[in-house]
Every structure is written in structure tokens, then in C-alpha cells.
Amino acid sequence: MTGTLWPMITLDLAYVASYWNQTGFDLWEEVNSSSFFTTAVQHRSLREGIALANKIGNTTNVANWTTQAANVLCFLQSYWSDTFIKSNTGGGRSGLDANSILTSVHTYSSNAGCDAKTFQPCSDKALAGHKAVVDSFRGSLYPINSGVASNVGVAVGRYKVRSLSITSIR
């Protein structure tokens, strides 16, 4: 592993450590901005890389990766809006997006508990974000959810969009 995979892993981690703060496309490849999903995955990849480097005894880049992981984690906090997680920083959408729910699940760590800084699924921030995304789909915009009580689940998509009628698609 150290002779074959480790050099490739090192290149990937070096790329993340160097370019994590560049904008790119969101999870849906629609919005060119900073993305909560991308930032969280970059943080997790650096942390996992550090753990692997320590385990195999190849710690040459660990100091840099540790510094950059701390910077990424700090930036990750900027997606919190005091009531929900902004899934992206641009694109003209509200930022309420299933991206935030998928991120918490994808970056789940059994060692992290309910850590709010990494938005673990059971953290207060992830749960508040989940509720905000679900609530954004309530109401008359989506007929399937119209009239559903507030204590009952509703159908949820990627993000809230204006309703399209069949005639407007033609």
C-alpha cells in the first residue's frame, strides 16, 4: 500500500491542501461558488489522510495538512446562518438545499459524537438545517405537500424551485 497507493493519496491530499479555498461547482454541478458539501468533504479527507499518514509512519506532510484542515474547519463554520446551513454561497438560490443533509450523512464519524463544528447528523446545527430544508418544501408551491400538517413529513427535493406547469415546459 505504501509503495503504490500512498503516493497517489499524497498527491490528492496535497491538491486539497493547496486548493481547498478555490470556488468550484456545488454538489449538483449547477452553481459556481463555495459549497458546503465540498468544504466538509475536503476537511474530512485531510483528517483521514493525517490519520493514515500517522498509522503508516509517513508524516512528512502532516504538519501542512493539519494546518490546512484547521483552516478548512474554520471556513466550514461560515456556512452556518444562525438558523440553517447555507449549502452554497452563490447561484441566486436561498442556500436551503438537501446538500446540507447529504453532507452530514456523508461526513458522519462515529468518533465525532454530535459535534456541531463538523455538522454531525445528530448535532443541533445539522438537525436545525435538516428541519429548515424540509420546511422549505411545505406549503402551496408543491401541490403534493399542500395541507400537510407541520408535524408530518413532506416530499423533499434537492432545493426549492418555482413550480413549473406542463404548459410552461413545452
Give the CATH number for residue 102: 1.50.10.10
The tally of domains found in the chain comes to 1
* pLDDT given for residue 118 in this prediction: 97
- Looking at the domain assignment, is residue 169 inside a domain? no
Neighbours of 151 (CB within 10 A): 5
**Torsion, Cα of 26, 27, 30, 36 (10° steps):** -30
- Looking at the domain assignment, is residue 23 inside a domain? yes
User: Which set of grid coordinates corresponds to residue 68?
Assistant: 490546512
Q: Where are the alpha helices (DSSP H) in 57-139?
A: 62-76, 99-106, 124-136
- Looking at the domain assignment, is residue 166 inside a domain? no
* pLDDT given for residue 22 in this prediction: 94
- Looking at the domain assignment, is residue 154 inside a domain? yes
* pLDDT given for residue 161 in this prediction: 81
* pLDDT given for residue 94 in this prediction: 84
* pLDDT given for residue 168 in this prediction: 46
pLDDT tens digit sequence for 37-86: 999 999 999 999 999 999 999 999 999 999 999 999 999 999 999 999 99
- Looking at the domain assignment, is residue 48 inside a domain? yes
Q: The domain containing residue 105 runs over which residues?
A: 5-161
* pLDDT given for residue 90 in this prediction: 82
* pLDDT given for residue 162 in this prediction: 64
* pLDDT given for residue 53 in this prediction: 97
Residue 9: pLDDT over 70 = yes
What percent of the chain has pLDDT above 90?
76
**Rounded to 5 degrees, what angle do the CA atoms 86, 89, 29 make?**
100
CA distance 32 to 30: 7
- Looking at the domain assignment, is residue 57 inside a domain? yes
Identify the residue with better confidence: 161 or 150.
Answer: 150
- Looking at the domain assignment, is residue 167 inside a domain? no
Please state which of the ranges 16-20, 76-80, 133-137, 140-144 shows the lowest mean pLDDT: 140-144
The radius of gyration of the chain's CA atoms, rounded to the nearest angstrom, is 19
Helix (H, G, I), strand (E, B) or coil at 170: coil
Residue 164: pLDDT over 60 = no
CA distance 41 to 107: 7
- Looking at the domain assignment, is residue 168 inside a domain? no
pTM (2 d.p.) = 0.90
Residue 128: pLDDT over 60 = yes
Please check whether residue 101 is in contact with residue 95, taking contact to mean a CB–CB distance below 8 angstroms.
Answer: no
- The residues that are catalytic are 26, 29
User: Which set of grid coordinates corresponds to residue 65?
Assistant: 495538512
